[in-house]
Amino acid sequence: MAQSTEARSLAPRLGAWVEDGPSVRWRVWAPGHKQVEAVVYDADDRVLRTLPLTPEADGCFGGVLAEQGAGLRYKLRLDGGDPFPDPWSRSQPAGVHGPSEVVVSDHGWTDSHWKGPDPKSLVIYEVHVGTATPEGTFEAFIPKLAHLRELGVNTLELLPVASFPGARNWGYDGVDLFAPQATYGGPRGLRRLIDAAHAHGIAVLIDAVYNHFGPDGNYLGAYSPHYFTKTHHTPWGDAVNYDSEGSHFVRSLVLSNVEMWIRDYHADGLRLDAAHALVDDGQPHLLAEIVERAHAAGNGRRVVIIAEDERNERKLVTPVKDGGYGLDGVWADDLHHQLRRAFAGDHEGYYQDYTGSAEDIATTLRQGWFYQGQKSQNLGHARGTSSEGLAPWHFVHCIQNHDQVGNRPFGNRLSEDVSPAAYRAMSTLLLLSPFTPLLFMGQEWNARTPFLYFTDHNAELGKLVTEGRRKEFSGFSRFKGEQVPDPQDRDTFTRSTLDWSEPEAPRHAGVHALYKELLRLRATEPVLTHRQGTHDARALGPDAFVLERRAEGDTVLIIVNLRGSLVHALPPHASAGIVLWSESPRFGGTVEGSPLTGNIVRLEGPSAAVVKLRE
């Protein structure tokens, strides 16, 4: 049964926090329980005292411990049983099974000048904190911010940082939504990274997972049976309860978490994981409420909310006043899939839905996504809605991301499956299109380090994960007979660490230079920056296509050749000049001279030429 808007707004603050005095106040939602106690620990995990909490309304228990403040560690005991961490904990310094810690927002922020990102001009750089540097911490990444600024990146997207089991994880097994991972540096480290990013003019998005919670260290069910519902199901089991009995507290868990990242950590927005698996039959939909709460928490700063969603659903980015959810952007993977099919030949799984033909790539570029209601062979039903009238910046495109690299059994980056020339051509298209580009860490220098799937679960669960991972790829012809790396092996994690000595090495310097030049053009070329500009795309025969971008009488053509030879005549009455040539030696190519002679463009093999026309 859906909860009313009024009922949803009445859910109280939960967890533990410091009040004036000082004192620590607890509020715990534990309906159906008769007794809840706060068990206080010292730094060596020895019990100091136990505080009975008083029953309150709506299944809550509360209490105050005077003369205590930040740093106090505690667990919660239900009906005299074993004590558990607080599911609303703001810090888990000893991991998801250890005592929770009371923290305060005492960072000396220096970003009062910061107004937030422009959602229409994002260049997103996706980072897994644990493998982005050898140290694997928030603060260790701060020196890398200068690299991003010089590259032309203006938005840093952090893979999930909410506390997960063990020391190694992608983050999608998070169980303590409010507690930044201790091995990354905890609350203090995250605040320092975000403050430093703002000083460099870089926004920070947090990847937030609200469609499911991890299996290890997940104590929600011990407190209330209402955190999950059997009414809906997801690939991870029973769905999180967003629309049935008790759901106003569960929604408060999420909406309070949204507010925390933006208000207390000065994050500039969120990337919502698998929004298609956020099942909510009530009104307003949780996604719309997330957008509303996030913008309010910004307190005048611009805030960006982007969803990963496989449905190609225009409602996600349609304004609330027009019946939508009002998100700023949506991951649109169709272009990635078309390009992988074209250049790498992928054809199994969901790739069977894509031809990779020049015509289909051009269609995807015109529309933002390819599927707009056609039947998906992979899914067995129609997929997608029309994108007509949606501005291109709403669509987040990529040629690599953590899923598309890490969900391959050996964590192969794109460069393992396409030629250097194809890599340069794909990069040119991505960064000069009107859509919002997303880069995966190291992509800008064509990093050779893999990004594997890794975990650090307990032995019993870890064994199941390892077996499941290897079974997952047993049906793929290209992986048969090869041993998939064990996610639990520490070496699987360490092999995934970026090598920051690569960017200036000869084999990487050309691609690095290409990315810098492409992002410079994206930010400075008037045709590419004009807010009222238009775009179109069409095939140039079976093996090439052109993306046209037009503004104020000028046109920039991004001509991409997939294979073979292309001879393309430009309009004879136009003045044409070459802007960028992906096969130039300075970008790692081997072709001297320009591909443009008079009004004829000649391309050989995978390559891209950027030409500017003036009437």
Q: Output the CA torsion sign for 61, 98, 249, 82.
A: negative
Q: Please give the Cα distance from 183 to 161 (Å, whole number).
A: 10
For residues 150 and 520, the answer to whether their CB atoms sit within 8 Å is no
Burial class (CB in 10 A: 0-12, 13-18, 19+), 111: middle
| Angle between helix 420-432 and 506-524 (nearest 10) | 20
Grouping H, G, I as helix, E, B as strand and the rest as coil, residue 169 is: coil
Q: Is 273 a catalytic residue?
A: yes
One DSSP character per residue, 543-555 reads: TEEEEEEEETTEE
Which sign does the torsion angle of CA 271, 346, 420, 583 carry? Answer: negative
**Which one of the listed residues 273, 353, 456, 486 is annotated catalytic?**
273
Nearest Cα neighbor of 385 from 368, 365, 371, 366 is 371
Q: Which of 207, 268, 308, 456 is catalytic?
A: 308
3-class DSSP assignment, residue 343: helix
Q: Which amino acid is at 306?
A: I
- The single residue listed with the structure tokens 């607890």 is 26
Of 601, 563, 551, nearest to 580 by C-alpha is 601
Q: How many residues does the chain have?
A: 615
Q: How far is the C-alpha of 266 from the C-alpha of 232, rounded, in Å?
A: 34
Q: What does the block give as tokens for 168?
A: 């190694």
Closest CA relative to residue 209, chosen from 238, 240, 183? 240
| DSSP codes joined into one string, 399-425 | S--HHHHHTSTT---GGGTS-HHHHHH
Helices (H), 319-386: 334-343, 358-367
- Mark whether 176 is an active-site residue: no
Nearest partner of 372 among 353, 397, 357, judged by Cα: 353
Structure tokens given for 470: 């290897």
* Tokens 């975000």 found at: 194
Closest CA to 210 of 250, 165, 259, 179: 250
Angle, helices 286-297 vs 247-263, to 10°: value is 30
Cα(217)–Cα(125) distance, rounded to whole angstroms? Answer: 30
Query: How is residue 594 written in tokens?
Result: 């320009």
Helix axes 334-343, 358-367, angle to 10 degrees: 160
**Between the CA of residue 82 and those of 61, 94, 222, what are the distances in Å?**
17, 17, 11
Dig out the tokens for 521 from the structure.
């053009």
In which residue are the tokens 């492409």 written? Answer: 518
Q: Which residues are tagged catalytic?
A: 273, 308
